Structure 1
Amino acid sequence: MALSFRPADRAGTGDADRVAALHADSWRRHYRGAYTDAYLDGDLVAERRAVWRSRFAAPAGTRTILAEDEGLLVGFAHVVFDRDATWGSLVDNLHVAHDRHRGGIGARLLALAAAAVLDGASGRGMYLWVLRQNTAAQGFYRACGATCVETAAVSPPGGDPARLVGAPAKLRMAWPDAAALG
């Protein structure tokens, strides 16, 4: 395995298609029940491609880190600096290819996201949102030192408000100091 990590500012918009495909696959596997089936089964790759092309074309205030194994995209993390006055920078996405889970890629991406926060943000705090149903990811983030500090209703594309009756659908996991992940 020749695992390498690189920032998307060197990747260019050509990587948007690969990131979109991995992002769509991850959502289809893990967001079923929170996002509508019609949305997940639709042309999600094209929708995500448009999002990632836009992000890569205007990367100011963000950093995207790609994990590759001999040129194959196996994971990525996207950070939005200083997104929240209280919690700091948002890890807006962290996805690892399904067949590469539990191999340390996610932990390395999270550590590199933390390093990016320390390098590019004005504050040291870092957080992300995780779906309530994604207990495996919650366990991973807790093992990496995150604390659940808040719950909220999910309002994603394709979200189904009827599924939110009685319980919030997402949790804010936070690290008060991104240096703890280094």
Structure 2
Amino acid sequence: MADVGVRPARRADAAAVADIQVRAWRQAYRDILPAAALDEITSADAMKVWRERWAEAASTPPSPRHRLLVAVASDLVVGFAAHGPAEDPDHDPAHTAELLTLLVDPLHGRAGHGSRLLAATVDLLREDGVTTLISWVFEDDKVLRTFLGSSGWAPDGTARTLDMGEPVRQIRLHTDIAPE
């Protein structure tokens, strides 16, 4: 079996993270997002912006509680997860964090990388004293909803609609990560 694990992202990982993000979005969201919006956020120009943003997230995050993790297999970045303090007004950021994104390269899916990223995220957040983890997901993203649901996540009844040229609905999921 290949050497696999999760580690904090480095600035040098930014290109790989952006590449994975674009490939994963193109596959996962092709039937969820309006085509024009998907084309725009996965364009060559957008890719440059994503690379810069991920480099900044890895090297100078907005706070010590913002983290970017990468899943690796034989030293190849195959997925990533980002989290930070919850910003929703109905949550206390001292005890609630938000899983901002969790994506695995479609070329390396179904190999446990997503589960390792989620477990590493939870471990770090527990060390920070976080007891609740939330995430906004597209309502029609059955794959992510099923993955998170299998780990104990559930809708909390909160929803929002994004204007992406057409309305696209997101729901907020949550899970209790307090140590038992």
Shorter chain as denominator, the TM-score bin is: 0.7 to 0.9
**Aligned match of 1:62 in 34, 45, 66?**
66
CA contact (8 A) 2:130 2:178 kept: no
What's the C-alpha RMSD, in Å, of the aligned pairs?
2.0
TM-score scaled by length of structure 1:
0.82
Superposed displacement of residue 41, structure 1: 4.8
Secondary structure of the 1:19 match is helix
- Quick one: distance in 2 between partners of 1:101 and 1:178? 28
Q: What amino acid maps onto 1:76 in structure 2?
A: F
Q: Which residue of 2 aligns with 1:145?
A: 152
**Aligned match of 1:114 in 113, 122, 127?**
122
Superposed displacement of residue 31, structure 1: 2.3
**Aligned match of 2:55 in 53, 63, 74?**
53
**Cα distance change, pair 38–136 in 1 and its aligned pair in 2 (3 A):** closer
CA contact (8 A) 1:5 1:67 kept: yes
Superposed displacement of residue 47, structure 1: 2.2
TM-score scaled by length of structure 2:
0.83
Q: Aligned residues, how many? A: 168
Superposed displacement of residue 178, structure 1: 5.0
Q: Which residue of 2 aligns with 1:25?
A: 23
**Cα distance change, pair 5–41 in 1 and its aligned pair in 2 (3 A):** closer
1:40-119 to structure 2, matched below 5 A, reads 40-43=41-44, 44-59=46-61, 60=63, 61-84=65-88, 85-86=90-91, 88-119=96-127
Question: Where in structure 1 do 4 or more consecutive aligned residues deviate above 4 Å?
Answer: none
- Quick one: distance in 1 between partners of 2:6 and 2:173? 24
**Cα distance change, pair 7–179 in 1 and its aligned pair in 2 (3 A):** farther
1:108-138 Cα shifts (integer Å, max 9, x gaps): 1111111111123x53111111111210110
Superposed displacement of residue 82, structure 1: 4.1
- Quick one: distance in 1 between partners of 2:167 and 2:73? 38
**Cα distance change, pair 3–133 in 1 and its aligned pair in 2 (3 A):** same
Gaps of 5+ in 2: none
Q: Which residue of 1 aligns with 2:139?
A: 132
- Quick one: distance in 2 between partners of 1:82 and 1:127? 8
- Quick one: distance in 1 between partners of 2:174 and 2:106? 24
CA contact (8 A) 2:58 2:67 kept: no
Q: Which residue of 2 aligns with 1:163?
A: 167
- Quick one: distance in 2 between partners of 1:93 and 1:37? 16
- Quick one: distance in 2 between partners of 1:37 and 1:113? 27
